Amino acid sequence: MSTDRHPSARARRLGSMLRRLRTTAGYDQESAAEAVDCSVAKISRIESGAVKARVGDVRILLDLYGEQDPERRRWLEKLARDSRKRGWWLDYETNAMTQIGDFISMEADATFIRSWQLALIPGLLQTADYTRALMRANPAALPNEIAEEGVKVRQERRRAVEESGIRFAAVIWEPAITSLMTDPRVHYDQLLHLRRIAEHPSTTIQVLPLTEWAAARVAPPFTAFSFGHDHAPEVVSTDTFSNTAMIEDPSEVANYAHAFDSLRSSALPPRDTMDFIEKTAHQINKEAS
């Protein structure tokens, strides 16, 4: 019996893409059902992510819709196979951290992740102590055991992305780097970690100077995920006060992609960014001594 309590993010993503391909090709759900030899209700459930599509059915539908891109076909077939896999994050299903399961699933499947942050270091770049400091500063502080699981989940996410070789690009506004933390040592170690991780060939970090006031307001903080070989963003995630919103509408996603390109153009080049971070870390260490 499946351990899933709700449709997986992969199943929903596959269904959304199949629905988009179907409508673009001009077919209705009745035609798709006839091709697969199933009910219209099943096609509807596949497209909503409520039912996990079989790889064979996905191939039939892609043939019907005229999808010939081999990379996209392989990716969609992989989504169908992997939608039955249990994610490592489900080991933490006893606390609220499982609410971000869809987000972690996006990270696990992505080929390129873009992150824009105004006030915080992006989660995938945080040290464990930095994450702890954030949780302790939250007015709605969690019990210690739950907060510590949250730290473990974030570090596991970081490890999984680093080991996978996923391309990661972050633009961080200057205050997130320079605003003094309660514990200077945590702040210093976090900046050193940024310096180290930026040396990884798949990671790019840029700081947006404080003076780039207008550029910093092109978009709220967000994370954009790409899944194909062309690295075009396909899903954008933004945080609200109580949850995480996923944006998949192509026109909206395109606006966020344009915003990120604008932010990168206005930010310091990667080498200048590393010099800035190193100078800031040195100053913090000097003042803490």
The residue ranking higher by pLDDT, 241 or 86, is 241
Q: What is the pLDDT of residues 136-174, one digit of tens each?
A: 877 666 677 777 877 888 888 888 777 778 899 999 999
CA distance 172 to 203: 13
- Would you give the DSSP letter of residue 28? -
Indicate if 32 and 158 belong to the same structural domain.
Answer: no
1 falls within a domain: no
Spatial CB neighbours of 38, under 8 Å, sequence gap ≥ 6: 57
Indicate if 183 and 277 belong to the same structural domain.
Answer: yes
Strands (E), 28-175: 112-117, 167-173
63 falls within a domain: yes
CA-CA-CA-CA torsion sign (96, 91, 233, 16): negative
Indicate if 121 and 46 belong to the same structural domain.
Answer: no
Indicate if 119 and 35 belong to the same structural domain.
Answer: no
Q: What is the pLDDT of residues 117-130, one digit of tens each?
A: 999 999 999 999 99
pLDDT score for 142: 67
14 falls within a domain: yes
User: How many domains are contained in the chain?
Assistant: 2
- Would you give the DSSP letter of residue 269? P
Indicate if 170 and 140 belong to the same structural domain.
Answer: yes
User: What is the percentage of the chain residues whose pLDDT exceeds 90?
Assistant: 53
Q: What is the pTM of this model?
A: 0.75
Indicate if 76 and 108 belong to the same structural domain.
Answer: no
In this structure, what CATH number is given to the domain that contains residue 28?
1.10.260.40
Is residue 34 within 8 A of residue 52, CB to CB? The reply is no
Q: What is the pLDDT of residues 217-270, one digit of tens each?
A: 999 999 999 987 778 898 899 987 666 788 888 899 999 999 999 999 999 999
Indicate if 99 and 181 belong to the same structural domain.
Answer: yes
171 falls within a domain: yes
Indicate if 105 and 18 belong to the same structural domain.
Answer: no
Bridge partners, residue 170, by sequence? 115, 205
Indicate if 68 and 105 belong to the same structural domain.
Answer: no
Sheet holding 167-173, edge to edge: 203-208, 167-173, 112-117, 222-226, 233-239, 244-247
Indicate if 25 and 152 belong to the same structural domain.
Answer: no
What is the extent of the structural domain holding 242?
Answer: 92-288
pLDDT score for 94: 47
